[in-house]
Amino acid sequence: MTRAATLIPGDGIGPEITAATLQVLDALGMRFDWDEQYGGMTAVDKAGTPLPNATLDSIRRTHLCLKGPLTTPVGGGYRSVNVTLRQEFDLYANVRPTKTIVPGGRFQHVDLVIVRENTEGMYVGLDHTFRIGGERRAMAQAMSIITRAGSERVCRYAFEYAKAHGRKKVTIVHKANILKATSGLFLDTGKRVAEAYAGTIACDDKIVDNTAMQLVIRPDQFDVIVTTNLFGDILSDLAAGLVGGLGLAPGANIGTAAAIFEAVHGSAPDIAGQGIANPSAQMLAAAMMLDHVGEGQAGNRLRGAVETAIVKDNVRTKDLGGSATTAEFARAVAHRA
């Protein structure tokens, strides 16, 4: 039986990297019954709204989605569809692995996973401007919400992930020295969760600014990091930069009602339509989706094929210093799958 899944090709480079990914899944013999839907800019153009009901209904039905990047207007405009999807489907854990693939870079032994809380913190949408007395007196306020329950489930997810993937340590990243209430609650909850894993999974904690520096200086000291929404967003891009950039960084949004798999990067409007985007991140996201549905062997084969195409076959897109097109890279991975 083929499994039903929602497919959102997305905006910008989304359709290019999604087509490449489908080609490779096909070569692996992994069939999904894809229900293709729109989101983001593409959906505004086609349906007049960035997140059509048909897209939500599809995910409600399949509980499983492979998603391309969606463009979000900066400053004004509609609310991020990604953030809405995370809240709608309660996708509380954003899992972003970072591993050295390309040899010759600055860091050869990076192998860490960031688990980012995905529904609370600075992303709750309580961000507003006060209209009092004109431009010069402009004032804006954002609110961060942290709950014991929200912190507990994502920390527990991080420890369970560590256990399931043979990892040794979870680092709780916070700013509890300054944000004593919000970040303090997250840290306290994380430490309580850690007690249940004492003797199995080690636990330490680090302040976020120090973490940023430590990630750049000695990334191999990290194993699993669990942190709040905004810190996780920033640190996972940083981590991606350590190992060759966003073109290699996949992510999973795991929730109680669904799971959505996507690349960490955005729609890359600067290179959209040129056929030169690196589809690896989207392919690696598809590999995480295979793990999630119990096809871990196929997931491993897909990860291996991406690595072999890059390292052994030396087929690389421009972001990795090569000259391969998206389609050429997809063929190389399909050949190795």
Q: How many residues are recorded in the chain? A: 337
The option from Mg ion, ligand NAI, none interacting with 233 (CB < 5 to 8 A, set by class) reads Mg ion
Is the separation of the CB atoms in 326 and 17 below 8 Å? yes
11, 35, 205, 233: the active-site residue: 233
What is the helix, strand, coil percentage profile of the chain, to 5?
45, 20, 35
Annotated active-site residue 123? The verdict is yes
Q: Give me the 171-200 binding string for Mg ion, x by CB under 5 A, dash otherwise.
A: ------------------------------
- CB-CB neighbours of 331 under 10 Å: 18
In angstroms, the CA 306 to CA 219 distance is: 23
The option from Mg ion, ligand NAI, none interacting with 95 (CB < 5 to 8 A, set by class) reads none
> Contact between 319 and Mg ion (CB under 5 A)?
no
Q: CB under 8 Å to 252, separation ≥6 — which residues?
A: 93, 94, 95, 96, 259, 260, 261, 285, 288, 289, 292
- Give the distance from CA 337 to its chain's centroid: 23
Residues forming the site for ligand NAI (CB under 6 A): 13, 17, 69-72, 82, 246-247, 262, 265-271, 277-278, 281, 319
The option from ligand NAI, Mg ion, none interacting with 5 (CB < 5 to 8 A, set by class) reads none
In angstroms, the CA 125 to CA 83 distance is: 9
180, 209, 220, 312: the active-site residue: 209
In angstroms, the CA 54 to CA 56 distance is: 6
175, 205, 291, 319: the active-site residue: 175
Of 33-41, 232-240, 254-262, 283-291, the segment contacting Mg ion by CB under 5 A is 232-240
Q: 124 is written with which tokens? A: 């709750």
Is the separation of the CB atoms in 292 and 252 below 8 Å? yes
CB of 203 to ligand NAI, least distance (A): 29
In angstroms, the CA 59 to CA 51 distance is: 12
Rg (CA), the chain: 20
Is the separation of the CB atoms in 191 and 205 below 8 Å? yes
Annotated active-site residue 209? The verdict is yes
CB of 72 to Mg ion, least distance (A): 10
Annotated active-site residue 197? The verdict is no
CB of 258 to ligand NAI, least distance (A): 15
Annotated active-site residue 33? The verdict is no
92, 123, 157, 161: the active-site residue: 123
The option from ligand NAI, Mg ion, none interacting with 270 (CB < 5 to 8 A, set by class) reads ligand NAI
Q: Are strands 224-227 and 111-117 parallel, antiparallel or unpaired?
A: parallel
In angstroms, the CA 256 to CA 238 distance is: 28
> Contact between 233 and Mg ion (CB under 5 A)?
yes
The option from Mg ion, ligand NAI, none interacting with 70 (CB < 5 to 8 A, set by class) reads ligand NAI
> Contact between 117 and Mg ion (CB under 5 A)?
no
CB of 285 to Mg ion, least distance (A): 14
The option from Mg ion, ligand NAI, none interacting with 135 (CB < 5 to 8 A, set by class) reads none
Q: Which residues bind Mg ion (CB under 5 A)?
A: 233
List active site positions. 123, 175, 209, 233
